[in-house]
Amino acid sequence: MKRFIATIGLCFGITITQAQLKKADEIRAALATTNKDTTAWAYGGFFNFGMNEGFLHNWAAGGELASFTVNTIFSGHLDRLDHKAIWSNNLDITYGLNYTYSTSFIPHKTDDRIDFTSKYGTRIDTGKNWYFSGLFNFKSQFTKGYNYAVADWQKSSTSKFLSPAYFTTAIGFEYRKGSDVSLFISPVAGRLTLVDKYYTSMSQQGAFGVDYNKTMKYEFGAYVSGRYLVNINKNVKFKTRLDLYTNYLAKDSKDSVGNIVKRDDPGNIAVLFDNLFTFKVHKYLNLAFGATFIYDNNLPYNKYKAGTTNPHALKTEPGRDIGWLQVNQLFTFGIEYKF
């Protein structure tokens, strides 16, 4: 009899727990698309680890004898809801390495990005969609970057952790519907760029918008940031983001002898357009395709080769004619964990 009662009690407890978990999942799903007047934590995201391997022996068509590529993507958010107030945090991380036989399997970086945004806002309308918010954003990378097209590329890096580092703070208004739709508009935004003097002293033009032999640059302007996440179907998701920044203080930049090396004005808007498709192949297998586009007047591009006797010798790199636009494209298939 006691065993029977214990069994009934255990089944009853499991049923209650499952119901609570189901209710928690329903609340989380609702918080993704609507603004609830409640006190709760809402979170979500995914981690993807992908690999690609190739091996050739006596292959008539030729090719890289052996290669191995790894890519990691993390995208997550953590929100704290407290009735009319909300504290939201988004973190996007990507990192990739490529190993090939022709380069003695010395790793070449294919991707490296840290992007963290934190916002705190208070709802200001009865429609529950507009917030008065403050924003903080940080962007940088994990490891040193190199120009692999240069023969002695290991002797001189082009960037590293916190060089550059971008810090943006802003106050404005946010239109928000849950954690999947957000549009933040700020007419009052400051941006600080930090760079090691090692990089700014290598060229009379400086580096990353920071003047020659300097270590920082402060900008004051307007900032707009929009995010959108949509479930196209139960196996396909699309995530996009658009950031726009204009510097009210923008002006022409001069080198150490007074020559103009870069023309700038508030009309030169910095643009970041980020896109990511994820396709669920199996419970733990995922295919991801992403493309990031950046246009920033502080990061010029020269299509001519440096250090040659012919000043009009063009670079032979792919994408040369794209010009100033920065492009980062990724395609990965691997293991995914969602939370």
Distances (CA, A) of 22 to 29, 58, 287: 10, 57, 28
Q: What pLDDT sits at residue 34?
A: 79
Q: What is the pLDDT of residue 265?
A: 81
Structure tokens given for 310: 């012919």
184, 135 in Cβ contact below 8 A? yes
For residue 244, give the nearest of 176, 302, 293 by alpha carbon.
293
Nearest alpha-carbon partner for 322 in 298, 290, 297, 295: 295
pLDDT score recorded for residue 19: 39
Closest CA to 204 of 262, 251, 151, 158: 262
**Distances, alpha carbon 243 to alpha carbons 27, 102, 199, 201, in Å:** 29, 39, 26, 29
Of 115, 122, 121, 120, the closest CA to residue 90 belongs to 115
Res 163: pLDDT: 96
Residue 242 dihedral angles phi and psi, to the nearest 5°? -135, 120
Whether the bond into 311 is cis, omega within 30 of 0 = no
169 in Cβ contact with 136 (< 8 Å): yes
d(CA 289, CA 50): 12
Supply the pLDDT for residue 83.
86
Spatial contact of 81 and 120, defined as CB atoms under 8 Å apart: no
Give domain limits for the chain: 1-33, 40-338
DSSP-derived secondary structure for 23-75: HHHHHHHHHHHS--SSEEEEEEEEEEEEEEEEE-SS-TT---SEEEEEEEEEE
Write the CA distances from 297 to 36, 301, 326, integer angstroms: 41, 9, 11
Tens of pLDDT along 250-268?
Answer: 887 766 566 666 668 888 8
- 75 vs 78: CA distance, rounded Å: 11
pLDDT of residue 261: 64
pLDDT at 98: 95
Residue type, 125: D
Give the pLDDT score at 12.
Answer: 40
Q: Give dist(CA 244, CA 274) in Å, integer.
A: 12
- CATH class for the region spanning 40-338: mainly beta
If one counts every other C-beta atom within 10 angstroms of the C-beta of residue 12, the result is 10
* Global pTM value: 0.86
In which residue ranges of the chain is pLDDT below 70? Answer: 1-31, 126-127, 254-263, 306-311, 318-320
Which pLDDT does position 23 carry in this prediction? 42
pLDDT of residue 293: 94
User: What gap in Å lies between CA 319 and CA 194, rounded to an integer?
Assistant: 28
Which of 209, 207, 231, 206 lies closest to 218, judged by CA?
A: 209
Q: How confident is the model at residue 333, as a pLDDT?
A: 86
* Residues 210, 216: Cα–Cα separation, whole Å: 6
Please write the tens of the pLDDT for every residue from 64-105: 899 999 999 999 999 999 988 999 999 999 999 999 999 999
